[in-house]
Structure 1
Amino acid sequence: MSLKKQYINGEWVEAISGNTRDIINPFNQEMIATVPEGDELDARAAITAARTAFDNGEWASTPATERGSIVRNIAELIIRDKEELARLESLDTGKTVEESRGDMDDIAGVFRYYADLADKDGGELIASPVPNSISRVVREPVGVCGQITPWNYPLLQASWKLAPALATGNTLVMKPSEITPLTTIKVFELMEEAGVPAGVANLVLGAGHTVGAELAENVDVDLISFTGGIVTGKKIMQAASVNVKKLALELGGKNPNIIFADADFETAVDQALNGVFFHAGQICSAGTRLIVEESIHDEFVNALVQRVNKFKLGSGFDEETQMGPLISAEHLAKVEEYVETGIKEGATLAVGGSRPNEPELQNGFFFLPTIFTDCTTDMSIVQDEAFGPVITVERFRTEQEAVKLANDSIYGLAGGVWTSDIVKAERCVAKMRMGTVWINDYNLYFPHAPWGGFKQSGIGRELGRLGIEEYTETKHIYQNLKPEPIKWF
């Protein structure tokens, strides 16, 4: 592939330093592209462009229906180029191309959803206690938005930030993960084609400690939206305090999936596997903590192991592949260390726990789907996010114990409950401290419903109407229709 570029103030540019980064395919470590390696200087140039574009007011004052039309155009262009985008996403991340195609449909759906919402909030009249006056509340764009996205769902996570920011009249600087930038570059090409004005949307490629840090610290940035790890999220919170930026943080989870004995057994097994091993477990909402009722525990684990032993690992472009590689050598090493810790802590390795032996997989960052049993909440493998194809299994005897186990975590992103007793399910859901809880399903999401977490899983919400409100400030406007002297002084 030819050199891809950054997009700053309506121009495709190389890094100011001239530095570049090679992007590799995690399936076989082949180089698939070379991109600029931007740093603080590039970030500052992009922030200046976004600040100027916002302060001149052109985009914010563009009629909401017109902004919505441009956002809708982006959706249609994504569908037009769906196959190319899916191919790039699978090359970049290693996920199956079938999954990437589904991602593109979801991404287009996000842009369409926010295009439809762009002109739906005309403000609110509220009762005024003063005669001959009008009191109203309006929402206005926040300003310059810094947006930092992760490597696991590069374009999907970008869409959750780009679409509402554009629809509400903000300007933005986006920093995708430095290891998976290709589809984000492509969608900026489509945004330019759709008619987004110069300076409104800017793309800087580079590392978190340079580009990301500049976005968090720069006083000309009004909001930071970050999806990623909890350690980095805390650093961003500290840096953002320099000008008390508005924050939207999604910082992952260690998500419980409760299986009651009265659940549909085969469906629960199937969904428990899908909830973790889809995209090799590299999903913030993955149901990596299985909490299984004592009476079915052994049978359930045996069924999981039998299915796992039949998994097909391979290239994302092989139609028979069920699970691709992890994203990088560094991440593979982290998952290996996590598994080694589980063994040292006394958990029982039921299946997996190592790299595969097949010769055709040796150049990729593959790790076998892994299940630990005899797990307890005092184990770090139960508390820490693996972000890989690893399940920990805990036992429970009572409903109260199941909920207590589920809530025993610093995280609160998502969870699941499997039971045929809907009353019991509702009792559990009411007590589970998570932003999303599925009943007899797992990992389903759609643009209309908000996404985000309790506790240390983050601040704020993406998607839904709450997702668009993150990109607005509330203003109260009071108008006296009959002003008179007060005669106090």
Structure 2
Amino acid sequence: MTSAPATSTAAGLLIGGDRVTNSSGGMHQHIYPATGLPNATVALAGAAEIDRAVDSGTQAQREWMSLTVDRRRDLLIDLADVVHDHLDEFARLNVHDYAVPLSFAGTAILLERFLRHFAGYVDKPNGVSTPVNGSFDINIIEREPYGVVGVIAPWNGALAVAASCVAPALAAGNAVVLKPSELAPLAALRFGELCIEAGLPPGLVNVVPAQAAGGEALVRHPNVKKIHFTGGGATARRVLVAAAADLTPVVAELGGKSANIVFDDADLDAAAMMAAHQGPLMQSGQSCACASRILVHDRVYDDFVEKFVAVVGSAKIGDPFDPAVAFGPVISAGAADRIVTEIDDAVTHASGELVTGGRRMGGELSQGYYIEPTVFAGVDNASAIAQTETFGPVVSIIRFGDESEAVQIANDTPYGLNAFVQTNDLTRAHRVARQLESGSVWINTFSDISPQGPYGGYKQSGFGRTGGLAGLHEFLQIKNIRIGMR
């Protein structure tokens, strides 16, 4: 396990085109989760740096909006081209950031796609005029940028959030202060550098890794006009409280406890493969889209469990830089301890049968934060292991008898971000999808976020959308202009 360097040079904040290493938030020693060893020292933003970043963004946003729409469009396309040229670098930075296996680390392709897609909206008309009752006045309805928006990204998807939030925010005419987690700041900082290399005004995209104090300063800043937060529900509540001081609007994309319903007519081999990768394997289950509750029809339950466990057991575990590896560590020692505690609690309370996994991994992986892919079968949906977002490589398999029971179990959760359905019956697919309380429903496929499709949650999985026209509109506010015609 020698892929991550033992040390590297310090990574500074990116504010107004400058690297800032002497910051009031101090320095953070970044740990590579596959080895437990440091691989970077990262500057953290405090209130002073947040203030500087917002000021820089305010000036850059004015410059951005002074450019013609075709020039802004072309600059976003240029940025997409630059990102394309650095896809391999971004993949490796993702591995260094949070030890996601290289085979799953290509999230920068999303960034390129979102930039190209939303660049196409920059020069499209987005206003309308309407008649007014009892008058010949001219009534114009326009959409305008907010100004400076704050984007708070989680450690497990800084580039995905840059894609789904920064791209439409820029296309809408805003400047962005992007706050990646101190646990995974490297790829986001590189993206900020490329924004400048592509010719965007310095300060249009500021990147400020920070801990809770810096994040709160960003949310509470009076000149940040909108916040987009991606993360957990507990932190989201704190964000909403902080934003309430100035009534700053917030979009929140939060966690999930997604159900994957396997009907008896599904292709079980394909369903088992999809469930394994959408469940415990992809990012070691550390994904808001993780399908951690697998609902299986009685008729095929035993066959599915056998096939599923075989797929999980065949995944290669090891060095995340090995292209053949499909399963890596969790993000930190604290996360590993928490996940193992939840597994032990499930065993103690007989929440289901522990079919495989459940332990920290030893041997050459013992210094990293590796937990075996863990499968519980025969789980009661009311149990903690089925209701709590573990955010680790742990899944529950639950039996159901008919379609109505499957829908009832799937919806019996406080979350509603994603749901998955495996069936070859098209009518059933439509019928069930419309009954599921979820922002996205994926039929016979993985979650595959695209710039054309709006993405967001129901219930405690959040509110607002990224992607699609709805995602663009999240970064625009409506103005009505009426011109009297006497």
TM-score, reference length from structure 2: 0.95
1:343 match: 347
CA distance in 2, matches of 1:68, 1:180: 30
Q: CA deviation at 1:369?
A: 0.6
- Residue identity matched to 2:54: I
- Cα deviation per residue 1:141-162 (whole Å; 9 max; x = unaligned)? 0122111101112212222221
Superposed, which structure 2 residues align to 1:37-76 within 5 Å? 37-54=44-61, 57-76=62-81
Contact 1:6 1:15 in 2 (8 A): no
SS in 2 for 1:302: helix
Q: CA deviation at 1:50?
A: 2.3
Q: 1:408 aligns with which of 380, 404, 412?
A: 412
1:25 match: 32
Contact 2:110 2:163 in 1 (8 A): no
2:287 is the counterpart of 1:283: yes
CA distance in 2, matches of 1:230, 1:140: 30
Q: CA deviation at 1:63?
A: 2.1
CA distance in 2, matches of 1:140, 1:39: 30
Q: CA deviation at 1:53?
A: 4.0
Q: 1:201 aligns with which of 200, 205, 229?
A: 205
SS in 1 for 2:369: coil
CA distance in 2, matches of 1:91, 1:453: 29
1:445 match: 449
1:486 match: none
1:395 match: 399
Unaligned runs of 5+ in 1: 483-489
Q: CA deviation at 1:91?
A: 1.4
Q: CA deviation at 1:43?
A: 1.3
1:462 match: 466
Contact 1:351 1:372 in 2 (8 A): yes
Q: CA deviation at 1:236?
A: 0.6
CA distance in 2, matches of 1:162, 1:198: 15
SS in 1 for 2:11: coil
CA distance in 2, matches of 1:335, 1:147: 28
1:133 match: 137
Q: CA deviation at 1:121?
A: 3.2
2:151 is the counterpart of 1:178: no
SS in 2 for 1:322: coil
2:5 match: none
1:255 match: 258
2:82 is the counterpart of 1:77: yes
SS in 2 for 1:424: helix
Superposed, which structure 2 residues align to 1:269-348 within 5 Å? 269-276=272-279, 277-346=281-350, 347-348=352-353
Q: 2:12 aligns with which of 5, 27, 38?
A: 5
- Residue identity matched to 1:26: P
Q: CA deviation at 1:170?
A: 0.9
Q: CA deviation at 1:18?
A: 7.5
Q: CA deviation at 1:310?
A: 2.0
Contact 1:15 1:42 in 2 (8 A): no
CA distance in 2, matches of 1:75, 1:338: 42
Q: 1:87 aligns with which of 65, 88, 92?
A: 92
Contact 2:13 2:44 in 1 (8 A): no
- Cα deviation per residue 1:167-200 (whole Å; 9 max; x = unaligned)? 1111221110111000111011100111221332
- Residue identity matched to 2:269: E
SS in 1 for 2:14: strand
- Cα deviation per residue 1:232-258 (whole Å; 9 max; x = unaligned)? 001111111111111110011100000
Moved more, 250-259 or 5-14: 5-14
1:239 match: 242
CA distance in 1, matches of 2:201, 2:432: 49
* Alignment CA distance shift 1:271-1:458 (3 Å): same
CA distance in 2, matches of 1:122, 1:271: 39
SS in 2 for 1:309: helix
Give structure 1 regions of 4+ aligned residues with deviation exceeding 4 angstroms: none
CA distance in 1, matches of 2:217, 2:158: 21
2:230 is the counterpart of 1:227: yes
1:188 match: 192
CA distance in 1, matches of 2:268, 2:203: 54
* Alignment CA distance shift 1:218-1:18 (3 Å): closer
Contact 1:22 1:33 in 2 (8 A): yes
SS in 2 for 1:69: helix
1:426 match: 430
Q: CA deviation at 1:381?
A: 1.0
Q: CA deviation at 1:112?
A: 0.9
- Cα deviation per residue 1:88-139 (whole Å; 9 max; x = unaligned)? 1111111122322x32222211111111112223311223224432112110
